[in-house]
Amino acid sequence: MNLRDKWAGEIEDPEVAQALRHFKASVDASSRAAYSRLDAAHSRPRTKVVRPAGHNWRLVAGWALGCVLAVGSLAGALYEHHHRQELVRMAATRAAQKARQARLEAEQSAAANAITTDQDLLATVDSDVSREVPAAMEPLAQLMDDNGTR
């Protein structure tokens, strides 16, 4: 038992039943008309769609320009990466040279200080050795004569 038979038995009002029959008939008629239009369209011989001749070269040119743009973008990115690496390498070289120069200057300064310190130390030793009396006894030595009596 299909749905139509089930509802047909339930509808007791003859006007509603007639309205439903008319509605069904109109839907069936419109469906048949639509199918007949489709059959008529398919029974006609098909015509080949001809594209204009200029369309193909535009498609090829579009693809070629797109590829050139993609390759150019990639090349630009690679160049930029390489350039940054070179800048980092040059900065590291400069920093190493500055550190080497600073270390060399520090070594030279330390050597100069050591020489100055050594010379000062030798001068102090020379002055201490050349004295007649120790520094602590100098006031007593001034009280004495050159001949040692007083």
Residue 52 maps to a domain: no
Beta-carbon count within 10 A of 17 CB: 14
Q: What's the pLDDT at 70?
A: 97
What percent of the chain has a predicted confidence (pLDDT) above 90?
33
Q: What's the pLDDT at 57?
A: 81
Identity of the residue numbered 147: N
Number of domains in the chain: 2
Residues 69, 117 within the same domain = yes
Q: What's the pLDDT at 99?
A: 95
Q: pTM of the prediction?
A: 0.38
Residues 85, 122 within the same domain = yes
24 close to 15: Cβ distance less than 8 angstroms = no
Residues 39, 65 within the same domain = no
- DSSP annotation of 149: -
CA distance 66 to 60: 10
Q: What is the pLDDT of residues 90-120, one digit of tens each?
A: 999 999 999 999 999 999 888 887 777 878 8
Host domain of residue 124: 61-144
Q: What's the pLDDT at 134?
A: 74
17 close to 8: Cβ distance less than 8 angstroms = yes
Residues 69, 140 within the same domain = yes
Residues 33, 88 within the same domain = no
148: pLDDT strictly greater than 60? no
Residues 78, 137 within the same domain = yes
133 close to 141: Cβ distance less than 8 angstroms = yes
Binned at pLDDT 50, 70 and 90, residue 121 comes out as confident
Q: What's the pLDDT at 89?
A: 97
H or E element at residue 29? helix 14-43
- DSSP annotation of 132: S
* 3-state SS class at 98: helix
Q: What is the pLDDT of residues 50-71, one digit of tens each?
A: 666 666 788 889 999 999 999 9
Residues 68, 13 within the same domain = no
- Phi/psi of residue 34, each to 5°? -65, -40
Residue 48 maps to a domain: no
Per the model's pLDDT, the better-predicted residue between 5 and 57 turns out to be 57
Q: Give Cβ neighbours of residue 135 (< 8 Å, ≥ 6 apart).
A: 128
